[in-house]
Structure 1
Amino acid sequence: MDLSEFQNFLAARYSVREYEAGCLTEEEKDYLLQAAASAPSAGNLEAWDLVIVTDAGQLELLGDAAGNQHQIPDAGSALVVCANYIRSMSRYADRGILFAVQDATIAATYMMLAAHALRLHTCWIGAFDEEEVKGALDLPPHIRPVAILSIGRGMPPESHPERMDPEGHVHYDIW
């Protein structure tokens, strides 16, 4: 893949909120997990864990916890990417909390790009009631849900939002 192919690949990925019914195949799940496992992580501790949700009732609970975002149950599958504090705090003490969140975020991003390579669609959902998600998934106290990814065969939106010029994010040498 040359540089322009890579840029086109990234530009063609977008959030999808309308899905056809269906769940991920085992091969697709394996591919996504391999992508996440290849993500960089602090101290190579891979301080992230994943809950793959395909049960209709569980998907409804996640949708409710995310302010009634219908794309979660509609997608047929959701990936709840979690930070595992214990894994990173074992080496980095309190700083490990940040590193676990970073590890989970990078793993989620890799899975979104892998899904795009599989011609699947995703939507990153960060707006959710953390305690509701923890309760619905029976997460242990040292696990924090960082993102819910709806994932499936989507129906692309008619238009894509304009993006900020990348230079608008950049500061050189000092702020």
Structure 2
Amino acid sequence: ASNRQPWTFIIVRDKAIRRQVAQHAAYYFIRWAHVEEAPLLIVLCGDARNRIYRQFLHEDVGLAGGQMMLQAKALGLGTCWIGGLDRKAIAGILRLPDHLEIVGLLTLGFPAEDPPPPPRKPLSQIVHYDVYGNQANSGDATPGRVPGGLLGRLLRRLRLKIRS
């Protein structure tokens, strides 16, 4: 928010530290084995000192992490966002100051496999027009097609490359 860039990234290369962090990367009783196996971890942190901008911290850091994931994919690397964490324990391992809050953790490395994308819900189940519950499809939300109406005119005016 307001281009404050409240993020700090801890790059964990050391195998012993990765192992310690992996012990606290769990969701209830499920441990993520690939956290310890990844050659690199990126701990995504946000500066929570400013009480006004603190409310946007997760969005800001999350968007930065998402951009890292997109760039990694473009470079042929694999990533995985880990949100199930014992943040307090990991903050202690990494010696984080109190004002830094862990938002998430990324594993980074060359993927062992290239699975197909998971199935996605159709737009007809998740898109509502104007108000919640109005799912009457006017044809504007068909993937791969130029939308009609105001949005379509705006996209054409901006000369964005979109499939027809």
Q: Same fold (TM over 0.5)?
A: yes
Task: Name the one with the larger helix percent.
Answer: 1
Q: TM-score range by the shorter chain?
A: 0.7 to 0.9
Counterpart Cα distance in 2 of 1:100 and 1:47: 7
Percent of paired sites with the same residue = 31
Q: Residue 73 of structure 2 is aligned with which of 116, 121, 128?
A: 116
Partner of 2:10: 51
Bigger radius of gyration, 1 or 2?
2
Alpha-carbon distance, 1:139 to partner: 1.1
For residues 123 and 94 of structure 2, what CA distance do their matches in structure 1 show? 37
Runs (4 or more) in structure 1 with deviation over 3 Å come to: 157-160
RMSD: 1.5
Instruction: Name the CA distance, whole Å, in 1 between partners of 2:106 and 2:61.
Output: 12
Q: 1:167 to 1:133 in 2, by over 3 A?
A: farther
1:71 aligns with one of 5, 10, 34: 34
TM-score by length of 2: 0.72
5+ residue gaps, structure 1, are 1-41
Residue 166 and residue 61 in structure 1: after superposition, are their counterparts in 2 closer, same or farther (change >3 A)? farther
1:161 aligns with 2:118: yes
**How far did residue 165 of structure 1 move?**
1.7
Q: Post-superposition shift, 1:153?
A: 0.7
Q: For 1:127 and 1:74, how far apart are their aligned partners in 2?
A: 17
Residues 158/100 of structure 1: CA separation in 2 closer, same or farther (3 Å cut): closer
Q: Tell me, which stretches of 5 or more residues in structure 2 are unaligned? A: 133-164
Q: Which residue type is aligned with residue 36 of structure 2? A: P
Tell which has more relative contact order, 1 or 2 (C-alpha 8 A, sep 6+). Answer: 1
The C-alpha deviation readout for 1:83-106, integer Å capped at 9, x for no partner, is 1122xx2xxx34x11212111000
